């Protein structure tokens, strides 16, 4: 349980920078802030996945809540407008907990009211419930709830629109509206005493994070009707793309509580941090077709091949959900094209993007981790081995973006205007870190993939294949150790291309040690890991560039151009703590206490940004303020995997 007390809840800035998230397992979500004021375009009570896991539409943006005690109106909501916060309902907040749902507690004139929000798994459905917990007065207590709707692609902002159909249909216990014929209908099931037509545009909401990020930050929302509840019994609203009944509130809540308790039990989690990370991990696992995939981050990412494969061990194997891992591996095998798995599945359209060199190589490592954990080599032999062999063949003869094996056995990748590694920032046609040639982690992943294939070939009695893969791996290792050693710095070059050797001190060299089959000669492990520790390690991950480098960017802020320019120029990435700990453990064997201390910063972080979640990135300089996505799959996965591997 994460608990925030009055000192944070009644501080508008502190309460607004802390965000909650509910997800539904098919790509939809609900999110907002502790204060109740939306600070992102992505905040909303119901963002529905109309083409799971994508096609996401923000339908219900907010619920404005006003308590009427003997006729006196007391607003519980909060909104940021230009130059003013109105109303200031957060001043009545005494507590916010995540247990496991978002739960707010308000105190108004001696009355204690609790609000909770729960998303139903597998459906575009959100349950909202308000209850008077104590202090029921002799007079009347009414709760007025006013929905604010947008019906807009979740990346966009709503502006007042004369084409918006303001009509709605109302029957006992159910209201529905469909402002645009090409979007789904929104149903609001309720147990309200009355439904009153209003029909107003609320104009000029201001979103602080969008403003900070250099994007448009004002929005208008439509308020079609008001619901009045007699608070002598709990008030309930179920927002859904399906017809619902308010009578299902307790059933849905109980089912979701049982499901989440089951996840914790299956994972064998006992410590509070581990329990929370297990629940965080579940939020990224979503359906794609008949199988599963992983949403890279909330609120704005879709499913990315690279992120999925890196996150798979932590999100599924570390939580004892190997059947999910199996489904993901099978699902991605259906999308292999020219020896590559997709980089991402776009929000619009069905054609995947394949602009990545490492996602496919991470696929090999995910399969290795799955097989080692489960012993399910039958799946690999019967369904995946031929696909993996074909992938190697494509890399040998060359595939997209000049990805091919060079004469030295190393993997070349890149062409002008393309960003193919995980350091993929691009502004228009400008690639910030092109890394064309032979990036260090790509060689580590390529070698690892070859050794995995050799091991599989041996297991399956394919001796010719084993000899071929071993020979390719031997050549790659020999070439790598000759080309990549930076004698001056006592570590590895980041990229080698012909005679150019990039000496930038980056975290990518960690993978030459951390992977199951290290490409780097063992006698060089220690200086590499010490270099990374001394110049890149922070309490929340690894810097993407040494602070000694002239290109180092200490703070991730400013315009979109400024931020994209600094995305991999020092900015700390949480997910890199996993491979660093793997490499550190291999190099120094013991030091368990030191390794545990490397994770302490993440425990504190669970209460400071995306509550119960791990952010995508952090400022390079202390105090390492969280930035980017407040909930990132591979960040959660690698922290959780590191905790589990050390337990």
pLDDT recorded at residue 348? 66
Average of per-residue pLDDT across 583-604: 90
Other C-beta atoms lying within 10 Å of the C-beta of residue 475: 17
| Model confidence at 135: pLDDT above 90 | no
- Residues 407-462 have pLDDT tens digits of 999 999 999 899 999 999 999 989 999 999 999 999 999 999 999 999 999 999 99
Q: What are the tokens at 410?
A: 């190393």
| Model confidence at 633: pLDDT above 90 | yes
Residue 335 pLDDT class (50, 70, 90 cuts)? very high
Residue 499 pLDDT class (50, 70, 90 cuts)? confident
146/130 Cα distance (integer angstroms) = 14
| Model confidence at 185: pLDDT above 90 | yes
Which one, of 444, 307, 323, 309, lies nearest residue 366 by Cα? 309
Per-position b or e across 269-280, b if 16+ CB within 10 A of its CB: beeebbbbbbbb
pLDDT recorded at residue 349? 62
| Model confidence at 474: pLDDT above 90 | yes
Residue 479 pLDDT class (50, 70, 90 cuts)? very high
Which one, of 619, 616, 622, lies nearest residue 638 by Cα? 616
Residue 273 pLDDT class (50, 70, 90 cuts)? very high
Query: Which pTM was predicted?
Result: 0.96
Average of per-residue pLDDT across 537-550: 98
Helix or strand run (H / E) with residue 280: helix 272-282
Average of per-residue pLDDT across 175-182: 98
Q: Which residues pair with 177 in a beta bridge?
A: 186
Helix or strand run (H / E) with residue 64: strand 54-69
487/17 Cα distance (integer angstroms) = 45
How would you list the strands of the sheet with 500-502, edge to edge? 438-439, 495-497, 500-502
| CB 587, CB 526: distance < 8 Å | yes
| CB 512, CB 529: distance < 8 Å | no
| Model confidence at 138: pLDDT above 80 | no
Q: Which domains, and CATH codes, for the chain?
A: 2-258 (2.70.98), 268-645 (1.50.10.10)
Cα–Cα distances in Å, from 157 out to 51, 210, 434? 20, 11, 32
- Residues 341-399 have pLDDT tens digits of 999 887 766 689 999 999 999 999 999 999 999 999 999 999 999 999 999 999 999 99
pLDDT recorded at residue 433? 93
126/248 Cα distance (integer angstroms) = 11
């Amino acid at each position: 349980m994460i608990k925030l007390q009055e000192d944070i809840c009644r501080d508008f800035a502190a309460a607004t920078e802390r965000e909650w998230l509910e997800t539904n397992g098919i790509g939809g979500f609900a999110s907002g802030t502790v204060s109740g004021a939306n600070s992102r375009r992505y905040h909303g009570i119901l963002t529905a996945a109309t083409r799971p896991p994508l096609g996401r539409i923000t339908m219900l943006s907010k619920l404005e809540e006003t308590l009427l005690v003997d006729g006196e109106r007391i607003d519980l909501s909060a909104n940021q407008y230009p130059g003013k916060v109105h109303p200031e309902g957060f001043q009545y907040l005494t507590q916010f907990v995540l247990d496991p749902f978002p739960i707010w507690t308000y105190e108004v004139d001696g009355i204690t009211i609790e609000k909770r929000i729960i998303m139903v798994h597998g459906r575009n459905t959100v349950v909202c419930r308000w209850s008077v917990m104590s202090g029921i007065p002799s007079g009347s207590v009414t709760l007025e709830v006013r929905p604010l709707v947008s019906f807009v692609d979740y990346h966009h902002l709503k502006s007042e629109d004369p084409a918006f159909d303001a009509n709605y249909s109302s029957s006992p216990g159910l209201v529905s509206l469909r402002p645009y014929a090409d979007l789904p209908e929104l149903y609001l099931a309720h147990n309200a005493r009355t439904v009153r037509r209003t029909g107003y545009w609320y104009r000029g909401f201001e979103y602080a994070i969008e403003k900070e990020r250099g994007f448009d930050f004002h929005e208008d929302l439509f308020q079609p009707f008001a619901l009045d509840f007699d608070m002598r019994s709990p008030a309930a609203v179920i927002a859904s793309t399906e017809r619902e009944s308010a009578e299902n509130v307790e059933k849905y809540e109980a089912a979701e509580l049982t499901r989440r308790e089951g996840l914790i039990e299956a994972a064998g989690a006992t410590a509070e941090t581990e329990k929370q990370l297990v629940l965080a991990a579940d939020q990224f696992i979503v359906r794609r077709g008949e199988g599963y995939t992983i949403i890279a981050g909330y609120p704005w990412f879709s499913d990315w091949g690279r992120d999925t494969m890196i996150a798979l061990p932590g999100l599924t194997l570390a939580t004892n959900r190997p059947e999910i891992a199996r489904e993901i591996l099978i699902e991605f095998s259906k999308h292999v094209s020219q020896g590559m798995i997709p980089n991402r599945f776009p929000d619009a359209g069905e054609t995947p993007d394949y602009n990545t060199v490492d996602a496919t190589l991470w696929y090999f490592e995910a399969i290795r981790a799955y097989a080692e954990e489960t012993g399910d080599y039958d799946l690999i032999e019967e369904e995946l081995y031929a696909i993996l062999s074909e992938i190697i063949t494509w890399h040998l003869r060359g595939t997209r973006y000049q990805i091919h094996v060079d004469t030295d056995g190393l993997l070349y990748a890149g062409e002008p205007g393309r960003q193919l590694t995980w350091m993929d920032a691009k502004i228009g046609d400008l690639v910030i870190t092109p890394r064309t040639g032979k990036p260090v982690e790509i060689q580590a992943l390529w070698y690892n993939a070859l050794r995995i294939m050799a091991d599989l070939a041996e297991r399956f009695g394919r001796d010719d294949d084993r000899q071929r893969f071993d020979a390719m791996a031997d050549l790659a290792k020999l070439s790598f150790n000759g080309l990549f050693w930076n004698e001056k710095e006592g570590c590895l070059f980041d990229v080698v291309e012909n005679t150019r050797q990039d000496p930038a001190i980056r975290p990518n060299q960690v993978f030459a040690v951390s992977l199951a089959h290290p490409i780097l000669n063992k006698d060089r492990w220690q200086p590499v890991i010490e270099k990374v520790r001394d110049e890149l390690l922070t309490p929340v991950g690894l810097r993407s560039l040494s602070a000694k480098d002239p290109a180092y960017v200490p703070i991730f802020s400013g315009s979109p151009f400024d931020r994209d320019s600094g995305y991999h120029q020092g900015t700390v990435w949480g997910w890199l703590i996993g491979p660093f700990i793997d490499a550190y453990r291999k190099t120094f064997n013991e030091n368990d206490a030191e390794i545990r201390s490397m994770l302490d910063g993440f425990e504190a972080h669970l209460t400071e940004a995306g509550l119960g979640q791990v952010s995508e990135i952090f400022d390079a300089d202390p105090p390492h303020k969280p930035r980017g996505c407040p909930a990132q799959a591979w960040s959660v996965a690698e922290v959780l995997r590191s905790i589990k591997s050390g337990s």
